[in-house]
């Protein structure tokens, strides 16, 4: 954040106005819960506990290795929910380990599992995924802890955890499309309110996206997908004019979810699919990092002089 608050002007360190722990449903593409925290130095492992207190039986919670702690895993299991959490390098101490059982292969490598026991007599499963190629962090082996029943195979657990990365895409869309992190908001309450407003707007756009895809599913190829970015551009460009030109009677409030769904589908059929189509990105091209001398990296040049020199070179 920019240092706009008076008490921060004597601080040289970068200021952080807080953070939010978010629960995201990849099936619905919706943020289903959010826990804001004003103290940016608070523990995310503690901040997630209010979210887990609202978990329920039949749910599956997936989390990164940051949340691989006994209080977090126990809080999830106490609600009757299941979890898949990647093992931390300093994971909770294992009291007893069972023998490894081979479980076959998945697209990314081979899988095996074992039974583990932790403090309190809780017995969970540990799944090991040996990757064929190292991931972005250079890891060749990944471990997951889970309390899912044996009816769910270890291969399914490994495949399910791969979906956790969809939350990273959601955060990227929040920042790039909806400006969820406004740097000029220095007050923690203001920054968190701005982020929560962006999350609410994301959920609205996600519902619109699903409505458009459902309305045009029969006329478009199976790979066709609507873009939240293009939908946001359409809303931003037309909403203010519609408020001025059209009276409120044209936007009646639907009292039932079925009525709302039918109205959304009717409006979505009026949208041209090509105008909001998502453009799939091609594969990234690996570029080697070039070494640059520190003196050259810290050097300054005059833009005007460089442009003048380039212009004179063209003329000669």
Lowest mean pLDDT among 36-50, 94-108, 162-176, 280-294: 280-294
Strand partners, 22: 34
Alpha-carbon span 52 to 77, nearest angstrom: 9
- Per-residue pLDDT, 316: 61
Nearest Cα to 24, choosing from 172, 182, 147? 172
Question: What's the token pair of residue 145?
Answer: 């802890």
Contact 86, 64 (CB under 8 A): yes
57 contact partners, CB below 8 Å, separation of at least 6: 79, 80, 81
Over 90: is that where the pLDDT of 254 sits? Answer: no
Q: At what angle do helices 228-245 and 166-178 cross, to 10 degrees?
A: 40
- Distance (Å, whole) CA 64 – CA 22: 12
Q: How many CB atoms lie within 10 A of CB 48?
A: 24
Phi-psi region of 18 (alpha: psi -120 to 50; beta: other; left: phi over 0): left
Confidence class for position 48, pLDDT limits 50, 70, 90: very high
- The dihedral over CA atoms of 195, 46, 140, 133, expressed in degrees to the nearest 10, equals -20
Q: Would you state the torsion angle of the CA atoms of residues 103, 104, 107, 113, taken in this order, to the nearest 10 degrees?
A: 20
The arithmetic mean of pLDDT across residues 82-94, rounded, is 90
pLDDT of 130 reads 93
Helix (H) or strand (E) holding 96: strand 94-97
C-alpha 2: how far from chain center: 24
pLDDT of residue 126: 96
- Bridge partners (DSSP) of residue 146 are 84, 125
More confidently predicted of 300 and 22: 22
pLDDT at 58: 92
More confident site: 208 or 310: 208
Q: How far apart are CA 208 and CA 221, in angstroms?
A: 19
Average per-residue pLDDT for the chain: 88
CA atoms within 13 A of residue 25's CA, in its CB half-sphere: 11
**Across 293-304, average pLDDT:** 80
Kindly report the three-state secondary structure assignment for every residue of 10-51: CCCCCCCCCEEEEEEECCCCEEEEEEEECCCCCCHHHHCHHH
Q: Please tell me the predicted confidence (pLDDT) of residue 305.
A: 86
- The secondary element (H helix, E strand) that includes residue 25 is strand 19-25
Strand 101-106, strand 109-118: pairing:
antiparallel
């Amino acid at each position: 954040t920019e240092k706009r608050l008076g008490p921060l002007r004597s601080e040289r360190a970068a200021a952080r106005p807080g953070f939010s722990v978010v629960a995201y449903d990849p099936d619905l593409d919706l943020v289903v819960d959010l826990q804001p925290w004003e103290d940016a130095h608070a523990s995310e492992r503690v901040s997630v506990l209010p979210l887990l207190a609202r978990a329920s039986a039949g749910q599956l919670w997936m989390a990164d290795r940051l949340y691989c702690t006994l209080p977090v895993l126990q809080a999830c299991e106490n609600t009757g929910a299941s979890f898949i959490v990647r093992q931390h390098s300093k994971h909770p101490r294992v009291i007893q380990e069972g023998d490894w059982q081979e479980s076959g292969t998945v697209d990314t490598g081979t899988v095996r599992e074992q039974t583990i026991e932790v403090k309190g007599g809780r017995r969970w499963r540990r799944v090991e995924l040996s990757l064929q190629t190292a991931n972005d962090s250079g890891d060749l082996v990944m471990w997951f802890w889970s309390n899912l029943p044996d009816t769910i195979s270890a291969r399914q657990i490994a495949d399910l955890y791969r979906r956790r990365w969809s939350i990273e895409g959601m955060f990227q869309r929040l920042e790039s499309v909806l400006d969820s992190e406004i740097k000029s908001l220095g007050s923690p309450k203001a920054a968190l309110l701005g982020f929560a407003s962006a999350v609410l707007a994301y959920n609205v756009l996600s519902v619109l996206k699903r409505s458009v895809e459902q309305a045009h599913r029969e006329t478009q190829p199976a790979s066709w997908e609507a873009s939240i970015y293009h939908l946001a551009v359409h809303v931003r460009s037309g909403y203010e004019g519609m408020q001025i030109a059209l009276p409120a009677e044209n936007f009646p409030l639907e009292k039932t979810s079925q009525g709302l769904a039918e109205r959304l589908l009717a409006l979505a059929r009026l949208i041209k699919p090509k105008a909001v189509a998502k453009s799939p990105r091609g594969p990234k091209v690996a570029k080697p990092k070039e070494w640059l001398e520190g003196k050259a990296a810290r050097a300054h040049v005059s833009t005007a002089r460089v442009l003048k020199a380039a212009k004179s070179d063209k003329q000669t």
